[in-house]
Amino acid sequence: MTTIRDYRPFGRTGVKVSPLALGTMMFGGKTEYDESARIIDLAIEAGINLIDTANVYSRGRSEEFTGKALKRNGQRHKVFLASKVHLPMHDTDGNLRGSSRRHIIEQAEDSLRRLDTDYLDLYQIHRPAPDTAIDETLRALDDLVRSGKVRYIGSSTFAGWQAVEALWAAKELGLNRFVSEQPPYNLLDRRIERELVPVAQTWGLALLPWSPIGGGLLSGKYRKDSKPEQGRYVDPSPMQARRLTPQIYDVIEPLTQLAEEKGVPLSQLALAWTVQQPGVTSSIIGPRTVEQFDDALASLAVEFSAEDLKRIDAIIAPGTHVAPFYEADFSASRYRW
């Protein structure tokens, strides 16, 4: 099994993290506890020290499984443990969602309980919230940091201007600032390269890309003339259906050819490309099975020549997209701090 030996700075914090992060979205849903715990054990054994979850994953079961596994193996102290808040935890209660102080404080306590830990290493706002003043959000997060329940704070899927606004507000108000941003980034959607990557590089934000293989579209299972019998996009949700554009195959087909020439699966090529992009700190993998975890770990051995990178840029140009992943409410804030 590949063992990770090279760790990357987590923004400007002084913390070092592995180039792959273990995402736990499948845990508690499609992946039951025993398999989830096995994947966590293997990840730590391989040197992965960043585990990312969220309150909304399987309505809390992902956090419960993660906490139980870390309790059982006694490895909590080795892990940089991250969770998120914002997305709805209840279909009807409008206050069980969003980035208000009420929701953030309440859900932080619930996440700590489910994860069976005294603190979170990283607590992230899962999506931007233009209906909430950024100082409301930052003051609540700052209180969590000062109380010792959270070590660092970050964002997910923010526009470049929203990340800068948050940094500006934190500086002006003397609050703890975001140290990381978690955006979608893959060979079907490279739009973060336009503004968000330069923002992260300029202001010292760690970048934690999610969906590096396009939610499975870059797994190698999806080809223009053949579809798998099972997979996330076989019976897609409305959001997933919007990503199944005809243009994705104009990218998938030539990338598959490149992967075959290099003797690796498309999934490993796609993940390795993301891991090796400028500004990227740690790419989040989301394995459903041990086999998928092993496949992701093997991507760390994939190397690219300058000619390979030129071919990839010709297939999917920098800053462009053929499937919409980088989407959130990027509109102007309705309330100024």
pLDDT of residue 324: 97
| pTM score | 0.96
Does residue 294 lie in a domain region? yes
Q: Is the pLDDT of residue 165 over 60?
A: yes
Q: Which structural domain, as residue segments, surrounds residue 42?
A: 8-315
Does residue 3 lie in a domain region? no
SS3 assignment, position 326? coil
pLDDT of residue 214: 97
Does residue 93 lie in a domain region? yes
Give CA–CA dist 167/126, Å, rounded: 16
335 pLDDT band (50/70/90 cuts)?
low
Structure tokens at 30: 């499609």
In order, the DSSP letters of 271-303 are: HHHHHTSTTB--EEE--SSHHHHHHHHHGGG--
Give CA–CA dist 158/84, Å, rounded: 13
Does residue 216 lie in a domain region? yes
pLDDT of residue 234: 76
Greatest CA separation for the chain: 56
Count, residues in the chain: 337
Q: Is the pLDDT of residue 15 over 60?
A: yes
pLDDT of residue 133: 95
Q: Is the pLDDT of residue 33 over 80?
A: yes
Question: Tokens 């243009």 identify what position?
Answer: 247
Q: Is the pLDDT of residue 337 over 60?
A: no
User: Average pLDDT of 9-30?
Assistant: 98
pLDDT of residue 1: 76
User: Average pLDDT of 52-64?
Assistant: 97
Q: Is the pLDDT of residue 16 over 90?
A: yes
Q: Is the pLDDT of residue 77 over 80?
A: yes
Does residue 43 lie in a domain region? yes
pLDDT of residue 336: 60
260 pLDDT band (50/70/90 cuts)?
very high
In DSSP terms, 321 is beta-bridged to 189
Give CA–CA dist 225/214, Å, rounded: 19
Q: Is the pLDDT of residue 232 over 80?
A: no
Does residue 75 lie in a domain region? yes
Give CA–CA dist 140/119, Å, rounded: 15
Catalytically active residues are: 57
CATH code at position 170 = 3.20.20.100
Amino acid present at 72: R
Amino acid present at 295: D
- Mean pLDDT (the chain) is 95
Does residue 333 lie in a domain region? no
Give CA–CA dist 138/136, Å, rounded: 6
Counting the structural domains of the chain, the total is 1
Does residue 210 lie in a domain region? yes
